Structure 1
Amino acid sequence: MPASEDVLRALAQVMAPLARLLLASGLDYTRLAAELKPLFIEQARLELLRSGQKDTDSAISLLSGVHRKDVREWRTNGLSGRIAQEMSISSQVFARWVQDPLYRDRRKRPKPLPRLGLAPSFDSLARSVTQDIHPFTALTDLLRLGLVTVKTVKGQEWIVPHREGFVPPPGSRDLLDLFGANLSDHAAAAVGNLLGQPPQLEQSVFAEGVTPESSRELGELARKLWAQARAEMITEATRRYAADQGRADATCRLRFGAYYWAEDVSQQTPQPDPTATGDDRDDA
């Protein structure tokens, strides 16, 4: 088990960019502390149950550090309302588009499809994923997400995919949803490794002392490698998902990701304002 002080030092590094996001969004420490209460309560309860102890209010309060009255309120109001999101139908349609040879071009990229007609068409693609919703509904959501555009050629509508994948606009709800899901699962893998659970993949490559040009070129290489790995993973995950349907033990979920971050460390910390006094009180 890692030492408490070591954990706090590591978390300070993790929280620094998150604190920046909070402050940029108008959220201060008081608001964050209030939101953390139910998280500490829920995780304390799960930890007690994992260790075979009773999840009484007193036990949860002692382990979490949250006052008993807050624990009682949590009992009354239930859990915090966070809902695990399953992969949307529109995302499943786009994933099938990426991996199914019938809907890819010679370079194995998702190709433009006529909206209607026999396969390969967008209508046949959507119906190959589900019969529960109309293909137009899936198309509407893909348009909303920015995954496709519609072009009319000689009176026929064509659905054109954004082959680089989906990158929501900055500050959008869709990007925040991806942010939360990606960082949560990344943290879960890292924490599990720290606590001695069965090892999960959680590694990175680090380099320092390169030029901005090298940094940009390495960033392009990272995107190229990710595109290759992503396509292979989608193909295999889709095959296994289809094979596992209907099995009683098909209860697992997974996430596979990658990231790339580069910065100029010589300009990492802004210089302090020499006119600042550190005390805004009026001494008059």
Structure 2
Amino acid sequence: MAPMIRLLLSCGVDYVRFTAVLKQTFIEQAQSELNEAHCKDTDSALSLLSGVHRKDVRYWRENGMGDRIARKVSLSSQVFSHWIQNPLYRDRFKNPKSLLRIGDEVSFETLVRQITQDVHPYTVLSELVRLGLVTIKKKQGQDWVIPSPRGFIPPAGSVELMELFSGNLGDHVSAAVSNIKGHEPRLEQSVFVSGLTPESVVKLAQLSQKLWSQMRSEIIRESSLLYEQERNDPRALHRIRFGSYFWDALLSESPSIQEDKVLGSTPSQ
């Protein structure tokens, strides 16, 4: 929790404000636990399991605080994903290529029109520019849309980045917790190495970026094909998230890691 607490404090969220939000989450998860165990989720049962006072449980139930709003993937994210997976919009290195802003064939306008007919392409472009995900350059009197080489990474501190962070962290922890509780095994593994020089860390960071780009393209391509095949199937009610991460730190900043540990892999799958 230490990295999370640092983030909360940097955003002005102190202990009191955080626990106020956690109260609702504890009640909701207690309700899920009781339902899974086929037990009645009475106010007393929820209070006993969650540790939240009964008056707060009652307030939560009466005011519908347990209803979560399902958020759809942002339009800008959908456009960027299609840009990555559609061969017409990629270069020979399979990266999203620069596009004419307006055109009847391969252009940013046609890219957006393949995703939505309800939002004007210029509106989507303005949002991508705001997020720093594309730039516009004029060449021979025409506007070209240049994608960020970093991919879909919203700027630091933005609402969009916080939403991505929330989704990634939540699903990562869910996979780990599922394994710990003995449910069907989920992929949740990592490799770590200690005793490296800064130069070696840079090399491994670059390798991880390269491998992630390859995996991302493959997953987006395959999932897009499956989505098109199954979009009208009434059983298509599931979602997936596939991710990867890389982190480096000094050994002195990681007291829980033994210095004589050279290479390891978490066996949680």
User: What is the TM-score with the length of structure 2 in the denominator?
Assistant: 0.89
Aligned to 2:35: 49
CA contact (8 A) 1:151 1:160 kept: yes
Give the secondary-structure state (helix, strand or coil) at the position aligned to 2:191: coil
Aligned residues: 255
Aligned to 1:213: 199
Aligned to 1:65: 51
Q: Aligned residues: percent identity? A: 54
Give the secondary-structure state (helix, strand or coil) at the position aligned to 2:124: helix
Aligned to 2:60: 74
Residue 254 (str. 1) matches residue 240 (str. 2): yes
Aligned to 1:203: 189
In 2, the alpha carbon distance for the partners of 1:198 and 1:268 equals 31
Aligned to 2:264: none
Q: Deviation per CA, 1:166-202, whole angstroms, max 9, x where unpaired?
A: 2223222222111111101100111111111111110
Aligned to 1:160: 146
1:1-284 correspondence runs (5 A): 15-79=1-65, 82-266=68-252
User: What is the TM-score with the length of structure 1 in the denominator?
Assistant: 0.85
Higher-Rg structure is 1
In structure 1, list runs of 5 or more residues that go unmatched.
Answer: 1-14, 270-284
Counterpart of 1:32, as a letter, is F
CA contact (8 A) 1:147 1:166 kept: yes
Shift of 1:95: 0.9
In structure 2, list runs of 5 or more residues that go unmatched.
Answer: 256-269
Between 1:59-68 and 1:107-116, the stretch displaced more is 107-116
Distance 1:81 1:59, change over 3 A: closer
In 2, the alpha carbon distance for the partners of 1:203 and 1:91 equals 26
In 1, the alpha carbon distance for the partners of 2:39 and 2:135 equals 55
CA contact (8 A) 1:146 1:166 kept: no
Counterpart of 1:72, as a letter, is R
Aligned to 1:275: none
Q: Deviation per CA, 1:49-71, whole angstroms, max 9, x where unpaired?
A: 12111111011111111110010
Give the secondary-structure state (helix, strand or coil) at the position aligned to 1:45: helix
Counterpart of 1:172, as a letter, is S
Between 1:165-174 and 1:184-193, the stretch displaced more is 165-174
What is the root-mean-square deviation of aligned Cα atoms in Å? 1.6
Counterpart of 2:46, as a letter, is I
CA contact (8 A) 1:145 1:166 kept: no
In 1, the alpha carbon distance for the partners of 2:78 and 2:12 equals 35
Counterpart of 1:148, as a letter, is V
Shift of 1:76: 1.7
CA contact (8 A) 1:119 1:125 kept: no
Using CA pairs under 8 Å that are at least 6 residues apart, name the structure with larger relative contact order, 1 or 2: 2
Give the secondary-structure state (helix, strand or coil) at the position aligned to 1:150: strand
Shift of 1:267: 5.1
Shift of 1:25: 2.7
